[in-house]
Amino acid sequence: MDAKASPSSRRELTKTQNRETILEAARLVFIQLGFATATVRDIIRATPLASGTFYNYFKSKEEVFQAIRDETALAVRPALRAARLKAESAEAFIAATFRTFFAYVAANRGSFAAATQTDSIHVRIDTPEVLAGFAELRQDIEQAMSRGLFSTLDAEFLTAAVVGVAFEMAEAMQRRATMDAEAAAQFATALFMAGITALPGHTADAN
């Protein structure tokens, strides 16, 4: 009846909180049980909410997973693009890509890669948002090529190589007790700039 900051904000607040509660619970459950093993019920149980409430927010565990991934992807991508656009050398481009990516993964442990569960079964799920991120990388690579940053090479294969190294190394990094994003970024960048002979830790070739 009188001055209120945001009418019906209590309801809205609860809705946002519940959504976040579910997402947070799902994150934990996916890490602990793995995406495939986890059930909607597991997620609900990790929550103070009733079972039906889940379905007011998501239709399935796949949708929750998408939401988690998209939340992350939407946050990472702008940072990645900005860093790459600013790059004035191939190394800067590559380094920016890996550094930003690994830093994000380290900061959001569990958001990426539905864990290495059940006897080393390896599952990776790419949402449209994540795929869009790949497409952006490829565009940026092609643009960098036309900027003269890279020579003319197979952009599709290079994109695949970057994506593959990024995701696979991210998983390896997550398996470690201490996640050193900077070390991972340096390793990947060195590999892409000069191959294995340039990798950190390299001393001399015995052959």
Could you give the CA distance from residue 33 to residue 149 in angstroms, rounded to a whole number? Answer: 44
Residue with smaller CB distance to its own copies, 85 or 121: 121
Here the tokens at position 88 are: 């004035």
Residue 179 contact partner, candidates DNA, its own copies, none, CB within 5 to 8 A by sort of partner: none
- Give the residue, chosen from 2, 52, 151, 206, that forms a contact with DNA under the rule CB under 7 A: 52
11 near DNA (CB under 7 A): yes
Sign of CA dihedral 86, 82, 154, 147: negative
Nearest to 113 by CA among 127, 103, 100, 98: 127
Residue 132 to residue 95: CA distance in whole angstroms: 20
Q: How far is Cα 38 from Cα 22, in angstroms, rounded to an integer?
A: 14
Q: Which does 163 bind (CB under 5 to 8 A by kind): DNA, its own copies, none?
A: its own copies
Given the rule CB under 7 A, which of 39-47, 91-99, 108-116, 184-192 is the region that contacts DNA?
39-47
**60 is a site residue for DNA (CB under 7 A):** yes
Q: Does 57 bind DNA (CB under 7 A)?
A: yes
Backbone CA torsion sign across 164, 165, 166, 172: positive
- By CB under 7 A, how many residues form the interface with DNA? 23
Nearer to DNA, 51 or 197 (CB): 51
Cα(95)–Cα(153) distance, integer angstroms? 19
- Binding of DNA at residue 18 (CB under 7 A)? yes
Contact indicator for 35, 115 with CB cutoff of 8 Å: yes
Q: Binds 16, which of its own copies, DNA, none (CB < 5 to 8 A, cut-off by type)?
A: none
Query: How far apart are alpha carbons 96 and 130 in whole angstroms?
Result: 18
Task: Collapse the DSSP code of 146 into the 3-class scheme (helix H, G, I; strand E, B; otherwise coil) and give the result.
Answer: helix
Among 27, 31, 35, 42, binds DNA (CB under 7 A): 42
Q: Which is nearer to its own copies, 59 or 107 (CB)?
A: 59
Contacted by 51, from DNA, its own copies, none: CB < 5 to 8 Å by type:
DNA
Question: In the complex, which residues of this chain contact DNA (CB under 7 A)?
Answer: 8, 10-11, 14-15, 18, 39-42, 48-57, 59-61
